[in-house]
Structure 1
Amino acid sequence: MKQRAVTAVQQQGISPHAFMVAAIAQAVSAAEQCVTLIAAAKSARREMLEDGEGFAADDVHAYFRVSAKGKDAAKPELRSWRT
């Protein structure tokens, strides 16, 4: 790995220190995004459990399939999952 780092530094024309600082900044950013994502997921789960509503998986999958093709898709509707 050390040689790969040396090669990357040389290709980018930066100092090893600048390379390490950039790598640390990227790792910190990724860690912060992970924390934010987990907090949002926990909040969404709490909200779903409180109000008893969610999206049907089939509707969500269909939405993503259409959206992935670059087409406009109707957003799934919230449904009560409690019986």
Structure 2
Amino acid sequence: MALLINDLCINCDVCAPACPNTAIYQGETIYEIDPARCTECVGHFDEPQCQVVCPVECIDLDPAHAETREQLAAKAARLGKEAA
């Protein structure tokens, strides 16, 4: 699944730099996560780095974007090729 930043976000600016896929960006009122770029850090880290660094624990699984670990790994590989 992609991740989703909820309304508890305090715009502390720590999650975006932690994302290896540049999936996190400043939205209209809070940070947002692009589900097309979010891999839950599969292919990079053992756990989502945005969740690790978030001081208010406002990053949840996004039920609207259910993906298996295999699908997330394939997305990470595809994104890696785009960056190259």
The answer to whether TM tops 0.5 is no
The structure with the greater share of residues assigned to helix is 1
The structure with the greater share of residues assigned to strand is 2
Larger Rg: 1
TM-score, normalised on structure 1? 0.26
Higher RCO (CA < 8 A, seq sep 6+): 2
